């Protein structure tokens, strides 16, 4: 709405509709100052020029979509963090080895897994002991 100054002192308004999102605030302030300096009795009001209904609706739908995506992201993060905690809780760190039903190595007791050479030596020792025990049994019963 554009108004002019009348001699009886009536105050008129100048309504400026602008697009705030386009950065016209500074231009509005400059124009307001120029007009008020020239016409002191004019009251100037600025407001946002409303977008069309379709644009406003699309912007609102995009806002809701962003909120939904944030919620989905939060749920995904909860899933992955929950999975990591679950894995941590069920992880024992065990590496236990049994040979013919006899435990021969325990990472829980020793604190490490055996080297391949250690494992072969342990198996060979058990084989020698088993062979020796078998030989002793045969001699005892014959």
Residue 95 pLDDT exceeds 50: yes
Q: Is the pLDDT of residue 88 over 70?
A: yes
Same domain, 42 and 64: no
Whether residue 108 is contained in a domain is answered as: yes
Q: Phi, psi (5° rounding) for residue 77?
A: -65, -40
Higher-confidence residue: 121 or 1? 121
66 and 43 both lie in a single domain: no
Q: Give the pLDDT band (50/70/90) at residue 3.
A: very low
* Structure-block tokens of residue 5: 């100054």
| Statement: residue 4 has pLDDT above 70 | no
Do both 25 and 58 map to the same domain?
no
- Work out whether strand 42-48 and strand 12-18 pair parallel, antiparallel, or are unpaired: parallel
Assess if residue 3 is contained within a domain: no
Q: Report how far residue 93's alpha carbon sits from residue 91's, in angstroms, rounded to the nearest whole number.
A: 6
- What predicted TM-score, i.e. pTM, was given to this entire model? 0.45
Tell me the C-alpha distance between 48 and 25, whole Å: 10
6 occurs within a structural domain: no
- Tens of pLDDT, residues 21-36: 777 888 888 988 999 8
Range 99-125 average pLDDT: 93
Domain that holds residue 105: 96-141
Q: What is the pLDDT of residue 130?
A: 78
Region 67-71: mean pLDDT is 97
Give, in degrees to the nearest 5, the angle at Cα 49 between 44 and 52.
Answer: 160
**Residue 89 C-beta-side C-alpha neighbours within 13 Å:** 6
The answer to whether residue 134 scores a pLDDT higher than 70 is: no
> What is the model's pLDDT at position 114?
94
Q: How many CA atoms lie within 13 A of 56 on its CB side?
A: 6
Residue 4 lies in a domain: no
84 and 101 in a single domain? The answer is no
**Which class for 65: exposed (0-12), middle (13-18), buried (19 or more C-beta within 10 A)?**
exposed
**pLDDT given for residue 142 in this prediction:** 59
- 100 falls within a domain: yes
Q: Are residues 57 and 31 in the same domain?
A: no
Give the pLDDT band (50/70/90) at residue 131: confident
Question: Quick check: is 40 in a domain?
Answer: yes
Q: Residue 49's Cα: distance from chain center in Å?
A: 36
- Number of folded domains that form the chain: 3
Residue 107 pLDDT: 94
**Position 1 in a domain:** no
- pLDDT at 2 (0 to 100): 46
Residues 17 and 31 both lie in one domain: yes
7 inside domain? no
């Amino acid at each position: 709405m554009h108004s002019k100054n009348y001699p009886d002192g009536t105050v008129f308004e100048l309504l400026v509709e602008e697009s705030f999102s386009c950065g016209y605030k500074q231009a509005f302030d400059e124009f307001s100052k120029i007009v008020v300096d020239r016409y002191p009795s004019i009251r100037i009001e600025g407001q946002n020029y409303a977008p069309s209904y379709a644009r406003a609706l699309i912007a609102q739908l995009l806002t809701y979509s962003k909120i939904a995506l944030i919620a989905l992201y939060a749920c995904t993060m909860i899933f992955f963090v929950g999975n990591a905690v679950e894995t941590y809780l069920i992880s024992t760190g065990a590496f236990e080895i049994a040979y013919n039903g006899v435990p021969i190595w325990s990472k829980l007791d020793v604190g490490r897994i055996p080297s391949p050479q250690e494992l072969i030596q342990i198996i060979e020792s058990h084989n020698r002991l088993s062979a020796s025990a078998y030989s002793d049994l045969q001699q005892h019963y014959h």
